Amino acid sequence: MGRLKRVSIVGYSEQLSVAEGDTIRFMVSCDSSNKYTAEIVRLIHGDTNPAGPGFKEKLVSTSISGEYPSRQQAIYPGSYVIVEDSYQLQQIESLSLQAMVYPTTPEKGLQGLLTKWSASTNAGYGLFIDEDGCLSFWIGDGDGQIERISSSMPLVARCWYFVGASLDGASGQVRVYQEPIINAANSRFFPHRHECIPAVVERYTQIRAAANNNVPFIMAGYLEKVESGRVIVGGHYNGKLDRPRLSKRALSIDEMRLLVESPSGNSLLAAWNFAVGITAESIATSKIFDESPNQLHGQTINLPVRAMTGYNWTSNEHNFIHAPEQYGAIHFHDDDLADAHWEVDFELTISSTMKSGIYAVRLRAGDDEDYIPFYVRPKKGTATARIAFLAPTASYMAYANEHAVTNAALVELMIARTPIMQKQDLYLAKHREYGLSTYDTHADGSGVCYSSRLRPLLNMRPKYNHPVSSSVWQFNADLHLIDWLTEMGYEFDVITDQDLHLEGVNLIKPYKVVLTGSHPEYYSTQMLNAIETYQQTGGRLMYMGGNGFYWVIAYHPENPGFIEVRKWGGTQSWKAQPGEYHLSFTGELGGLWRNRGRAPQKIAGVGLIAQGFDVSSYYRRQPDSFDPRTAWIFEGVDGDELIGNFGLIGGGAAGLEIDIYDTDLGTPPYACLLASSEGHTDAYLEVVEELFCNVPAMGGSQNPRVRADMVYYMLPDGGAVFSVGSIAWCGSLSYNKYDNNVSRITNNVLKRFLLDKPL
């Protein structure tokens, strides 16, 4: 067995979708040699499986081709709030710090809560969780003297506490206070008497005033260093913060309690309220508001989770917009990442010679390489073909840099075999700083609900095989369809989910036919509305995959490079906590579209029924396929011919995740059930949202509902839908040099859909 190559060069682009005249910037990190090369290629087929046509790319001559000096660029994960230094924060002789805190890993080591602390000079002050998991107040004079006063009572994970500390500069008295604040709904435990005993520590210190350190005030960490003008934060906190306050006087405990709900008084320096900015008028931006007269507003860094249940959540209201005062918490994680913030290495202006398609920067350093994919679309408001391929980039983002194989304990049982990992999987397992996918959990066990494309996405690459699917998946799987369209001689444009979200139906209205990718799973309201409007106004949709239109997502209101999903009620890798089902970016209910009355069957005629990752199967024609109204779809296919008993994904066209016809969930009653798969193994199980209770015989060998259905139906004004109901379908298109029944059926439908005459 050959030695696995290491990952020595990686990169990403600032933009994902660009048009003629746009400039796209690329960021690269390389540690293998003095130089690396960069070239632009057009991607056609990304699957290296020797049973298929092999990897295909076309070199494109551009201004960026050439050699570049290597350099390593670091990523600093971990979310926090930063408040820039100001005169109000300088020379404070007496002070009080307080907050409601909900630690999730109090035992992990030193964590900053509310700090104006410089680790390089040991100057300043701050409220911390110390190495023993206890609340601790630090004061440093900058001359080597530090006082650390601990509560000496370890905090309990996932319970709310009122914590505070005060320093009286005149007397040197320090007080540290922590008290559990537990009701029936807001914490892990119901309040029992011994859990509600407060801890109060009083002590006198030689340090009468914290040194002025000219550093920012930081929540959920502390200043570790400043590197090339960039603030580097250490001691990242895992957990929630709510109602942080800062005063320039040593307050009593009773005075601190009053500040929680009524922040006022001459000594108040800052009263940050995280509930401000999460209303219907102003949704969860990155700004943090101070309600004191000083207006010491802050900024969130690396996307901590907003609109989370606070210390006072009663469970009577589950939508934060209706009760923002109960959702004044932010959940911070030491592995959050929004933007890698690398420096730009080179940029490319898209020329008129680069027609719409999928491109990439090909990076090479020695025997290592990386690809940075991007999409060239037509100029806004135009189309250059009658066919559009709609790239499911939101789904790529949801799976970006996932750690399913290295994190999930039962993955081998789920896929019924041993996963085969790629070098990218091993690299991501070691380099957690590259961020997580929405299929991962954070270090504190909470689910990852945000994902970003502003970082290297090592599994969104050609040549990459997914260890769960045992073949290509998502981005690389969609190149099967791009290759087929190219080989069959079709002219087509490429557009993206992000384009559809931002521009709506006007983006796809010029196209006679829109083809989805193999797995368009994650959809925003704007995207779903656009597809529905397109269908109802004469558009023709070819749904070329499975498990589509499934999860509700939202794009960040300030930056479409970020998406959000709250997972509950479906087949999922984690579950959102009670009261946290609504999307902080928009306020709308998250979860499955079917739980909002918009099941995939209403859009595509089929919806997810089962998943399995061992082998794929085939389809058999159903009676509707012999109807004169649909017989044209099967021209050149015999009546008893098995459809797709071959392919690059599991050896068949029906596999991985499969969809079923279901009129109860919205399949039109006039839809034609053309073909259904059969012969699935017991590794294919009916999805949990279909079950009312656990029962035996849910596997493919015994459950007749475990199947992929092929469906066709017409819509008003000449519109139509053709759906294959399987992620594996496109992996069979190239079999036998594209001369096979999967290719033939797809070609029959696309040719007919392109005609202007009625279907």
Phi-psi region of 200 (alpha: psi -120 to 50; beta: other; left: phi over 0): beta
Return all residues near 606 (Cβ < 8 A) that are at least 6 apart.
543, 600, 659, 660, 661, 662, 667, 708, 709, 711, 723, 725
| Percent of the chain clearing pLDDT 90 (strictly above) | 85
**Edge-to-edge order in the sheet of strand 522-524:** 450-452, 562-564, 551-555, 522-524
Tokens of 234: 């250490």
Least Cα distance to 100 among 79, 114, 89 occurs for: 114
- Give residue-wise pLDDT tens across range 192-219: 655 567 888 988 888 777 778 889 999 9
Contacts 24+ apart (CB under 8 A), 171-175: 171/204, 172/204, 172/205, 172/206, 172/207, 172/208, 173/202, 173/203, 173/204, 173/205, 173/250, 174/137, 174/139, 174/147, 174/149, 174/202, 174/203, 174/204, 174/205, 175/200, 175/201, 175/202, 175/250, 175/253
Please give the C-alpha separations between residue 365 and each of 10, 87, 200, in angstroms, as whole numbers: 10, 49, 59
- Cβ neighbours of 692 (radius 10 Å): 5
Instruction: Quote the mean pLDDT of the chain.
Output: 94
pTM, two decimals, is 0.95
Q: Would you mind telling me the total number of residues written for the chain in this entry? A: 759
Q: Specify whether the CB–CB gap between 139 and 126 falls below 8 A.
A: no
User: SS3 letters for 176-241?
Assistant: EEEEECCCCCCCCCCCCHHHHCCEEEEEECCCCCCCCCCCCEEECCEEEEEECCEEEEECCCCEEE
Q: Which helix (H) or strand (E) holds 357?
A: strand 357-365
Q: What is the pLDDT of residue 643?
A: 98
Q: Is 644 helix (H, G, I), strand (E, B) or coil?
A: coil
Q: Specify whether the CB–CB gap between 88 and 241 falls below 8 A.
A: no
Return all residues near 227 (Cβ < 8 A) that are at least 6 apart.
none
Max mean pLDDT among 181-195, 323-337, 682-696 falls in 323-337
Q: Is the pLDDT of residue 690 over 70?
A: yes
Q: Specify whether the CB–CB gap between 15 and 25 falls below 8 A.
A: yes
Confidence bin at 595 (pLDDT 50/70/90):
very high
Confidence bin at 146 (pLDDT 50/70/90):
very high
Please give the C-alpha separations between residue 61 and each of 13, 17, 83, 672, in angstroms, as whole numbers: 19, 19, 46, 48
Burial of 430 (0-12, 13-18, 19+ CB in 10 A): exposed
Amino acid at 273: N
Angstrom distance (rounded) from CA 160 to CA 313: 11
Q: What is the pLDDT of residue 208?
A: 77
- Give residue-wise pLDDT tens across range 524-573: 999 999 999 999 999 999 999 999 999 999 999 889 999 999 999 999 99
Q: What is the pLDDT of residue 697?
A: 80
Angstrom distance (rounded) from CA 613 to CA 470: 8
Q: What is the pLDDT of residue 1?
A: 35
Q: What is the mean pLDDT of residues 294-307?
A: 96
Least Cα distance to 606 among 723, 688, 686, 481 occurs for: 723
Tokens of 236: 């990242």
Q: Is 732 helix (H, G, I), strand (E, B) or coil?
A: helix
Q: Specify whether the CB–CB gap between 79 and 89 falls below 8 A.
A: no
Q: What is the pLDDT of residue 241?
A: 98
Q: What is the mean pLDDT of residues 454-481?
A: 94
Pairing of strands 513-516, 540-543: parallel
Q: Scanning the structure block, which residue is given the tokens 């008893």?
A: 640
The strand pairing partners of 230, in sequence order, are 227
Q: Which of 299-313, 438-452, 515-529, 679-693 has the lowest mean pLDDT?
A: 679-693
Q: What is the pLDDT of residue 404?
A: 81
What is the rounded radius of gyration, in angstroms, for the C-alpha atoms of the chain? 28
| Percent of the chain clearing pLDDT 70 (strictly above) | 98
Q: Is the pLDDT of residue 499 over 90?
A: yes
Least Cα distance to 150 among 174, 119, 121 occurs for: 174
Angstrom distance (rounded) from CA 92 to CA 612: 62
- Give residue-wise pLDDT tens across range 617-674: 999 999 999 999 999 999 999 999 999 999 999 999 999 999 999 999 999 999 999 9
- Give residue-wise pLDDT tens across range 387-411: 999 999 999 999 999 998 887 667 7
Angstrom distance (rounded) from CA 662 to CA 668: 9
The strand pairing partners of 643, in sequence order, are 619
Angstrom distance (rounded) from CA 513 to CA 511: 5
Q: What is the pLDDT of residue 84?
A: 96
Instruction: Quote the longest CA-to-CA distance of the chain.
Output: 95
- Give residue-wise pLDDT tens across range 56-107: 999 999 999 999 999 999 999 999 999 999 999 987 889 999 999 999 999 9
Angstrom distance (rounded) from CA 331 to CA 241: 7
Q: What is the pLDDT of residue 199?
A: 85
Q: What is the mean pLDDT of residues 601-613?
A: 97
Q: Is the pLDDT of residue 698 over 90?
A: no
Tokens of 187: 């914490």
Q: Specify whether the CB–CB gap between 136 and 147 falls below 8 A.
A: no
Q: What is the pLDDT of residue 453?
A: 97
Q: Is the pLDDT of residue 478 over 50?
A: yes
Amino acid at 250: A
Q: Is the pLDDT of residue 285 over 60?
A: yes
Q: What is the dihedral of CA 535, 537, 538, 544, to 10 degrees?
A: -20
Q: What is the mean pLDDT of residues 586-611?
A: 97
For 64, how many CA atoms within 13 A lie in the half-sphere containing its CB?
A: 25
Q: What is the pLDDT of residue 734?
A: 98
Q: What is the mean pLDDT of residues 591-600?
A: 98
Angstrom distance (rounded) from CA 533 to CA 536: 5
Confidence bin at 2 (pLDDT 50/70/90):
very low
